[in-house]
Amino acid sequence: MIVLGLTGPMLQPVLAVRWLRWIRVLAHPLVSFGLWAALLMAPFALTDGVYLLAALTKLGEGAWLPVAFGALMVLVMLTWRRGTGILVQKTRRTEVPLESLVNNLEKRPPHIVKGTAVFLTSDPSFVPTALMHNLKHNKVLHERIVILTVLTLETPYVDEPDRVEVENVVYTHSIALVMIAPGMRSTCVPHRS
């Protein structure tokens, strides 16, 4: 192996510096938790390291297949995550503020059909994409519209009065912004008595 023209014994200090950098990067989370946590985790890390070194000797004998499959799964998950982020950014660029839609609907009201439509959204200040597509393709609006946002809070349980918040939007027919905020261990389904 040649790195910067160094070979043999001259290369060993260069490789040692690289290993020290990697050890420092890997040990940073341990140091940020504190010395006691590092000492507590050291036997586990040593045991895992021994198992890892023993398993590396089997790569040539067929162990490369599960490693390749795992790498493929990591690639799929990273691609999915990146694609989801790109899709969210693209959707945010094309979203219309709710106030703007209400003003446009008052100027040019669409045909109103009977019934209630519920549209889910993560940001109630913008019109849900499904509502915009409904207006664009069907050119109708339901007589009652519910724009629903579900927020899962960091607390295990939320008191019943604080779980649901309803706000009516001023328009010729009913548009309600409903925000449900259950705790992380709560269910949204009401109990039957």
What is 101-150 written as a DSSP string? HHHHHHHS--EEEEEEEEEE-S-TTB--HHHHHHHHHH-EEEEEEEEEEE
Report for 28-37, 94-103, 181-190: range of highest mean pLDDT? 94-103
Same domain, 176 and 102: yes
Same domain, 26 and 87: no
- Residue 64's domain comprises 60-94
- Establish if 119 belongs to a structural domain: yes
Is residue 4 over pLDDT 50?
no
Is residue 89 over pLDDT 80?
yes
Using an 8 Å Cβ cutoff, are 180 and 149 in contact? yes
- Establish if 126 belongs to a structural domain: yes
Same domain, 1 and 39: yes
pTM for the full model? 0.55
Angle at 191 between CA 185 and CA 193, to 5 degrees: 150
Same domain, 120 and 162: yes
Instruction: Copy the structure tokens of residue 177.
Output: 């912004």
Same domain, 116 and 154: yes
Ranking 9-23, 65-79, 107-121 by mean pLDDT, the lowest is 9-23
Same domain, 47 and 87: no
**From residue 69, how far is each of 54, 83, 168, 191 by CA, in Å?**
20, 21, 52, 45
From CA 127, how far away is CA 149, in angstroms rounded?
A: 12
- Establish if 1 belongs to a structural domain: yes
The domain total for the chain is 3
